Structure 1
């Protein structure tokens, strides 16, 4: 009795959603109401996401100064102190608390509002311009306000994220607001339709929960996605540790005082340049087909740059130049993670795919500082940490590249055999 009742309820729900969504799917000009607008309120979303990530990235890129302050105050081992500095990132990506409640929505909602300009929108939102000011500002706060005063002021700064989050308007509500503003002559039908959308959203939540489990299974059997999350995990094994060790590396080569702050500032600044530049390039018609290939090349190049850094950074000038190059390439890689995921699994699976990616990213962020700290404690030098990061990043890039080569070969064979007429030149690359 109850089983048949639940089946009937599910059918009624799905039927209701089909009827309401069919009415909601077209606007006054017959276009899809939930299609990405590629502009409009989307640029407000991009601006809010940018400010949010500037604050988060600025604090993370200053982990090297936090490391020095924690070491000075608590006198613990490098492994424990470094893990303590990267703990916020671990909580974000493994447990889904703290910064994850801000970062994940800021990524997803930008991709929902943009399609043709998705690369540029993600590049701007993830550019973190302004984050390069944080290292010098945080050094100033610790110098003039002390240990607890500096953290208190930073806490107040982070609260500004609440204002940015209030501007993250879901796409369905945005489209409904536009429609409501155009229907001023007959408000009653508009009100009824608005109520229908609310009911649709409530009932669609039930259906989405039923479909989510199967979507995750489909994502996890995609070997390209699996290779990508492994590559990202290996990349993050060392990425946060490098930022934490820049002041220490500077001190080892005789760079003292505010000069180490300038090295971190240059790294973060060019990371922002790289995010916007690569986002704009990805949206160009010529590069659109080859974005995953270029992404693979960037990951390999970043791994090689890691291996060059310790031997080539003997002076302040060379250190600034090489770390600027490193920041530029890592900015390119980080800013387009969601774009690459959309190309692999589709925008409809982005929410689940991003959650899985952040889990693996968190594992790398959790394990990396412990290993990096152990290397520093046993070798009394930070060069080993950079070499370790280069090996991990290069290994991840090779894994992801291999999966893409296998995918390309399979697509070529299917295209030549003529079994799948839907295969296009774009599929062969992407």
Structure 2
């Protein structure tokens, strides 16, 4: 097989082939996230055909989302690498690039929602799934667009190269039957994993990870139950599918406009705040949903929820990159999307159980709303505490005795106490003749 030549660059090109990467990621999000969202349209068909309740039927959507985020299976082999590649090719216009790439989810939902409803009416749910499967084969084309790139921060230092070269020579000298070979391999593997996933010990990343769990719990059930809820309040099948289309097209606007806005100089340093605001506002939308029981009221809800859903989805990779850096972005995104798996698995069935138990959607929607609001509040509180600590450190440094402070210069720590004492001695010697400070 011919060797693949890696494109080399000292910094992200912010253009060029990067726009092809964005196009590939755009199509990936259509084939993965948009198709997954259309399961909501299949929900009533599955429930009727298999004669199951809400909780049992919800497992279909839950397992699809969970496997995508949890394993290296199916959509996961395309979704996470495509998103990471966008971060490799863009720095200055990263939020805009992610906004365009992630808007594929909204565009796909806008187009596929009425199409899927039409396919179900014409070919039944089995034929509709078969046609969607053929459409998803376009992921093979997307994979062909992903050209590797080596950035400046990806280059190893000369010391690391020497160490790795020495390890390779030691491995070549070692006999393949030597018991030390396996031990050496295990040690190198542990060191490599420790270096690659060292970001999981960062306090900022831990807070982000916890908030993602609550955010993922809240965002998933709507795409399963929006169509069934609309049908339960008297909306027709075509109108319910139209709500999903609205949700998708406004999602696009949220992706692109929020990406463009947060790339502006005035908001670039507030991407973290924009992310938590978007998550919190989606939670508030959830709290209002049980009161909206007609199509004219559900349309504004779909617009509002879709916009802020697109906004925070765009900013997830950006916020993650700000915390862990570009070098560890691929691994960090893998962890972040992995954390989506468990909430995606359990939240739709839990919401379905609440609907079966209470006979209404109110409890399910309220639980999702409070979960997303808590995720936003947690991030805001963590950022506030961090800023308070930063402002207190200089104040405490000024209040403390300067003679007891230590400064670090490289690996050498020294005190200025002796220097101040010598200056005091010199001043006394000047004032008192014959005084010797020693």
Q: Shorter-chain-normalised TM-score: which range? A: 0.7 to 0.9
Find 1:151's aligned residue among 120, 123, 129: 129
- Structure 2 contact 35–108 (Cα < 8 Å) conserved: no
Identify the residue that residue 399 of structure 1 maps to in structure 2: 378
Q: Describe how 1:225-244 pairs up with structure 2 within 5 A.
A: 225-244=205-224
Distance 1:387 1:227, change over 3 A: same
Find 1:269's aligned residue among 243, 249, 262: 249
* Range moving further from structure 2, 215-224 or 34-43: 215-224
Identify the residue that residue 109 of structure 2 maps to in structure 1: 131
Gaps of 5+ in 1: 1-23, 174-199, 422-430
2-structure distance, mates of 1:288, 1:415: 26
1-structure distance, mates of 2:192, 2:295: 51
Q: Establish whether residue 120 from structure 1 lines up as the match of residue 96 from structure 2.
A: yes
Distance 1:321 1:208, change over 3 A: farther
Identify the residue that residue 332 of structure 2 maps to in structure 1: 353
Identify the residue that residue 48 of structure 1 maps to in structure 2: 24
Q: Describe how 1:141-220 pairs up with structure 2 within 5 A.
A: 141-172=119-150, 212-215=192-195, 218-220=198-200
Find 1:387's aligned residue among 366, 369, 376: 366
Deviations 1:347-368 (A, max 9, x none): 1121221121112111110121
2-structure distance, mates of 1:224, 1:130: 33
Task: Give me the TM-score of the superposition, normalised by structure 2.
Answer: 0.78
2-structure distance, mates of 1:396, 1:153: 38
Identify the residue that residue 308 of structure 1 maps to in structure 2: 288
Q: Return the offset for 1:68.
A: 1.0
- Structure 2 contact 42–125 (Cα < 8 Å) conserved: no
- Structure 1 contact 71–81 (Cα < 8 Å) conserved: yes
2-structure distance, mates of 1:256, 1:151: 22
- Structure 1 contact 229–361 (Cα < 8 Å) conserved: no
Find 2:279's aligned residue among 280, 290, 299: 299
- The count of corresponding residues between Structure 1 and Structure 2 is 363
2-structure distance, mates of 1:209, 1:34: 28
Deviations 1:275-323 (A, max 9, x none): 1111111111110111111222222222111101111x12211101112
- Structure 1 contact 271–329 (Cα < 8 Å) conserved: yes
Identify the residue that residue 226 of structure 2 maps to in structure 1: 246
- Structure 2 contact 43–228 (Cα < 8 Å) conserved: no
Distance 1:212 1:329, change over 3 A: farther
Identify the residue that residue 156 of structure 2 maps to in structure 1: none
Identify the residue that residue 12 of structure 1 maps to in structure 2: none
1-structure distance, mates of 2:368, 2:109: 23
Larger Rg: 2
Deviations 1:144-164 (A, max 9, x none): 112221111111000011001
Identify the residue that residue 77 of structure 1 maps to in structure 2: 53
- Structure 1 contact 303–389 (Cα < 8 Å) conserved: yes
Identify the residue that residue 339 of structure 1 maps to in structure 2: 318
Q: Return the offset for 1:398.
A: 1.4
Task: Give me the TM-score of the superposition, normalised by structure 1.
Answer: 0.79
- Structure 2 contact 43–57 (Cα < 8 Å) conserved: yes
- Structure 1 contact 124–276 (Cα < 8 Å) conserved: yes
Q: Return the offset for 1:73.
A: 1.1
Q: Establish whether residue 99 from structure 1 lines up as the match of residue 79 from structure 2.
A: no
Find 1:325's aligned residue among 304, 311, 315: 304
2-structure distance, mates of 1:258, 1:420: 70
Structure 1 moving runs of 4+ over 2 Å: 206-218, 410-421
Deviations 1:227-278 (A, max 9, x none): 2122222122132211111111112221112111111110111111101111
1-structure distance, mates of 2:94, 2:391: 27
Distance 1:362 1:252, change over 3 A: same
